[in-house]
Amino acid sequence: MSNTESLSGKVALITGASRGIGKEIAMELSKLGAEVFINYSSSDEKAEEVVNSIKNNGGKAHKLKFDVSKEDSVSSAFDKIIKINGSIDILVNNAGITRDGLLMRMKSEQWDEVLNTNLKGVFLCTKYASKFMMKKRSGNIVNISSVVGIIGNPGQANYSAAKAGVIGFTKTCAKEFASRGINVNAIAPGFIETEMTEKLNTEEIVKAIPLKRLGSCSQIANLVSFLVSSNAGSYITGQTISIDGGMSI
């Protein structure tokens, strides 16, 4: 089997895939032959652009609007995926938001919004995807955590807590699902060139990165594809792989 056919016949759901890291992951998995579902929460136009881009390159893609933090919404979305394809093989939990602020000034709403999307959303999507993966006795789940879930970051108590929670969740799921042939791993990106980092003072950030540069969305996508499509990646589970230019050393 050639590399470009390594995910042929597989079905993948990528949450938060209308832009940034999620978009790049969806594009990469489709290049490897997977049929991808593009989850998004607000921008129908951007999701449509990703779907069209994939189709124009000969791939298969669908857009799927749902709120990862609401169980009814997640349940309904998985019903649609199964109705179209009958199964799901790959889940990439990428959807995430920020509501930054120093802890003393942080409102409960800011805490809840971030925890609900960034952690509860991972729980809900994994819960529903794993049902079908367990029946097949195979599957791959990749959770996008963050370097701040490992080292913390002032002004991001909610985000750091959620991303650290994703790491603990990943380890537990890996142990629970291993006997059913399901691998579960987390990726902890550092500062990656996206719309989110465009608003930051990157000169100061780069000083704290040993490699002295930001990462790219394609580097994250390549790591995801390694974990879900390569034989070498098939013996990796329960791990959190930092891809941060050395920030968490």
Q: Could you give the residue numbers annotated as active site? A: 159
Angle at 220 between CA 69 and CA 58, to 5 degrees: 90
Q: What whole-number distance in Å separates Cα of residue 231 and Cα of residue 34? A: 16
Q: What whole-number distance in Å separates Cα of residue 39 and Cα of residue 19? A: 10
Identity (one letter) of the amino acid at 20?
A: G
Task: Report yes or no: 171 and 149 within 8 Å, Cβ to Cβ.
Answer: no
Q: What whole-number distance in Å separates Cα of residue 209 and Cα of residue 132? A: 40
At 204, list the tokens: 């100061």
Q: What whole-number distance in Å separates Cα of residue 184 and Cα of residue 125? A: 13
Least Cα distance to 248 among 194, 209, 215 occurs for 209
| Main-chain phi, psi angles of 15, to 5 degrees | -85, 150
Task: Report yes or no: 5 and 229 within 8 Å, Cβ to Cβ.
Answer: no
The Cα-based distances of 129 to 11, 152, 204, 244 in angstroms read: 11, 29, 40, 28
| Main-chain phi, psi angles of 122, to 5 degrees | -65, -45
At 186, list the tokens: 């987390």
